[in-house]
Structure 1
Amino acid sequence: MDFNDTYLSLEPLHPSDMFGPLISISSIFNKTGKDLITAAAVGYEIGTRLCDSTSLRAKGYDHVNFTEIAMAAALSKLLDFNENQIINAISIALVPHVALRQPRVGGLTMWKAGAAANSARNSVFGALATLYGFTAPSEPLSGKMGFKNIVAPDMDFSKLEGKRVDGIMRTYVKKFPVEYHAMAAVEGSMKLVNDLDMNNIDSIEVYTYEAAVSILADKEKWHPTNKETADHSLPFIIASTLVNKDFWVNNYNDIRNKQIIALMDKIHITELKEYTAQYPEKLPIRLEVKCRGKTLESEIEIPKGHYRNPMTDREIESKL
Structure 2
Amino acid sequence: MKRRDFLARAAAVASAGFGLANLRSDGHGFTNSALAANEGSIEKASLEQKFAEFALSIKYEVLPADVIASAKRVLLDTLGCAFGSVGSEPANIAETTIRKTFGEGNTATVIGYARPATVEGALFVNGVLVRSLDLNDTYIGTEPLHPSEVLPTALALCEENGRSGRDLIEAIVVGYEASTRVNDAISFVERGFHPLCAAAYGIPLIAGKIWGLPKEAIANAVGISGARGFTSFVVNSGAISMMKAMGLAATAADGVFATRLAAQGFTGPSGTLEWLASKMKPVKEGFAVDLEVARYRLPRVAFKRFPIQIELQAVAEAGTLLSAKIGGRTQDIRAITVETYPGIIERVADPAKFRPQTKGTADHSLPVCLAMALLDGDVTVDQFEKDRWRARDVMELVSKTSVRPGASLIAKIPKGRGASIVIAFADGQSLHETVEVPEGDAERPLSRASLDRKFMNFAVPVVGMSGAERVMSLVNGLEELKDVRELTRALGGTGKQNPG
Whether the TM-score (by the shorter chain) exceeds 0.5 is yes
Does residue 1:256 correspond to 2:382, yes or no?
no
2:159 maps to 1:27: yes
Provide the residue aligned with 1:181 in structure 2.
311
In structure 2, stretches of 5+ residues that fail to align are 1-132, 456-500
| Cα drift, residue 118 of structure 1 | 1.2
Aligned equivalents of 1:88, 1:195: Cα separation in 2: 58
Match of 1:148 among 277, 298, 301: 277
Confirm or deny that 1:295 pairs with 2:427. no
Give the Å deviation of 1:114.
1.3
Question: Please, which of 258, 268, 274 is the counterpart of residue 402 of structure 2?
Answer: 268
Question: Is residue 80 from structure 1 mapped to residue 222 from structure 2 by the alignment?
Answer: no
Give, in angstroms, the shift of residue 314 of structure 1. Answer: 1.1
Count, aligned residues: 316
Q: 1:210·1:276 contact (CA, 8 Å) conserved in 2?
A: no
Cα separation, 2, equivalents of 1:160 and 1:127: 23
Moved more, 42-51 or 149-158: 149-158
Who is 1:169 aligned against?
A: 299
Distance 1:279 1:85, change over 3 A: farther
**Aligned equivalents of 1:229 and 1:88: distance in 2?**
37
**Structure 1, unaligned stretches of length 5 or more?**
none
Alignment of 1:221-236 (within 5 A): 221-236=353-368
Name the % identity.
27
Retained in 2: the 8 A contact 1:188–1:298? yes
Relative to 1, partners in 2 of residues 1:279 and 1:4: Cα closer, same or farther, differing over 3 Å? farther
1:274–1:74: structure 2 CA closer, same or farther, 3 Å change rule?
A: farther
Say whether the 8 Å CA contact 1:217–1:233 is kept in structure 2: yes
CA distance in 1, matches of 2:205, 2:273: 13
Indicate the structure (1 or 2) with the bigger Cα radius of gyration.
2
Partner of 1:237: 369
- d(CA) in 2 for partners of 1:110, 1:78: 30
Structure 1 residues 156 and 30: CA distance shift in structure 2, 3 A: farther
1:92 Cα offset (Å): 1.6
What does the per-residue CA deviation read over 1:140-191, in whole Å, with 9 as the maximum and x for residues that have no partner?
Answer: 333xxx3333346317544424221421101001111110000000111111
3-state DSSP of counterpart to 1:88: helix
Q: Residue 323 of structure 2 is aligned with which of 153, 172, 193?
A: 193
Counterpart check, 1:108 vs 2:240: yes
State whether residues 406 and 420 of structure 2, in contact with CA within 8 Å, keep that contact through their aligned partners in structure 1. Answer: no
Structure 2 CA distance, aligned partners of 1:222 and 1:195?
25
Q: SS where residue 225 of structure 1 aligns?
A: coil
Q: Residue 210 of structure 1 aligns with which residue?
A: 342
Q: Is the 8 A contact 2:409 2:436 kept in 1?
A: no
> Contact between 1:53 and 1:156, CA under 8 Å: does it hold in 2?
no
* Aligned Cα root-mean-square deviation (Å): 1.7
Match of 1:308 among 443, 451, 464: 443
Question: How far apart are 1:235 and its partner, in Å?
Answer: 0.6
